[in-house]
Amino acid sequence: MYHEPVLLKESLDMLGLRPEGTYVDATFGGGGHARHLLATLSGNGRLYAFDQDEDARKNALTPPFAGNPCFVFVPANFRHLKRMLRSEGVATGSVNGILADLGVSSYQIDTAERGFSYRFDAPLDMRMNNRDGNTAADVLQKYSADELQRVFSELGEVRNARTLARAILQFRETGQTLRTTGELVGLCDKNLMGERWRYLSQVFQALRMEVNDELGALADFLKDAHEMLAPGGRLVVITYHSLEDRLVKNFIKTGNVEGNVVQDFYGNIDKPFVLTVKKPIEAGETEIKNNPRARSAKLRVAEKAKT
Ligand SMILES: C[S@@+](CC[C@H](N)C(=O)[O-])C[C@H]1O[C@@H](n2cnc3c(N)ncnc32)[C@H](O)[C@@H]1O
């Protein structure tokens, strides 16, 4: 299976679907959420599904998506949400619900040659859009020690980020290049702190987030999503780690990812969303048992203010 959707019922319920509404799935992947969302639409109802991954695009060429008049696939980064939707003829402020299920799919992680996993020996790629941009190998080869330290410490919370960054620089100084996940794992093994699986997960997560500018893309997306939503429209986001969750939480509360409360001239606090669900929804034990990825999932929901 390409990907088992997480918090499926909860996220679709929270979108408050109407058959003739306009919806966006910003992270189509294997279409796990999209196929159920699409099944509720009819007539003028539309689902615009985004994914920057070429393999995800191929899923959109299969039933029930191919040829479905209610379905439009947009092969783009969701950070360009507004521009891409506008070019499809969708008016600003007219979308009834937007779903984003962040991160990478099981298919991407389990496909060795994509380089996302320390479980396989493969080229250090890690790009979701593998036709464009720096690979993980480029990052490890081009970044200074300070930049690498920032990546490991801020994006992966790697405890000895400085030591690891220096080890990479020393490796480069011998004239060698880190080209494969196996070579990176070898270097990590010499600098491990704490449990091996945790350390490797943190290093690989940090690199993946840097390669795909995941936090930057999320910040751009949230801003566009608010503009594109109709008053009363719903934003539903599933996050998988604290950094992206904090951004979403801040944005829902204040309208900016830093979480700075903005007041107008009269001292009124600017509230771009009505908080629909204060605490994030989490998966139950049964779902977690069937799909361990659901363990870290947090579903956040907000409704765009009506005035
Ligand atoms: C967790 S999977 C989504 C799975 C999907 N909900 C399902 O049930 O099949 C995330 C997907 O979003 C895509 N993605 C992540 N960040 C993206 C971005 N900035 N722009 C477009 N697609 C993105 C990935 O390529 C991946 O296919």
Written as one letter, the residue type at 214 is E
Closest ligand 1 atom to the C-alpha of 32? 8
**Residue nearest (by alpha carbon) to ligand 1 atom 14:** 27
Q: At 243, is the pLDDT very low, low, confident or very high (cuts 50, 70, 90)?
A: very high
**pLDDT, tens only, 11-46:** 999 999 999 999 999 999 999 999 999 999 999 999
Average pLDDT, the chain: 96
Q: What is the pTM of this model?
A: 0.96
Q: Helix, strand, or coil here: 80?
A: helix
pLDDT digits (tens, 9 = 90+) for 41-99: 999 999 999 999 999 999 999 999 999 999 999 999 999 999 999 999 999 999 999 99
In the prediction, which pLDDT does 267 show? Answer: 87
- Contact (CB, 8 A) for 257 and 222: yes
What CATH number is given for 8-106+214-304 in this structure?
Answer: 3.40.50.150
Q: State yes or no: pLDDT of 307 exceeds 80.
A: no
Q: Which residues line ligand 1 (CB under 6 A)?
A: 3, 5, 27, 29-33, 50-53, 56, 77-79, 101, 103-105, 128, 217
CA–centroid distance, 56 to ligand 1, in Å, is 8
The two tokens of residue 156 are: 């992966």
Q: Round the CA-based radius of gyration of the chain to a whole number and report it.
A: 20
Is the separation of the CB atoms in 269 and 263 below 8 Å?
Answer: yes
Which sequence spans correspond to the domains of the chain?
8-106+214-304, 130-211
Is 130-211 a domain of CATH 1.10.150.170? yes
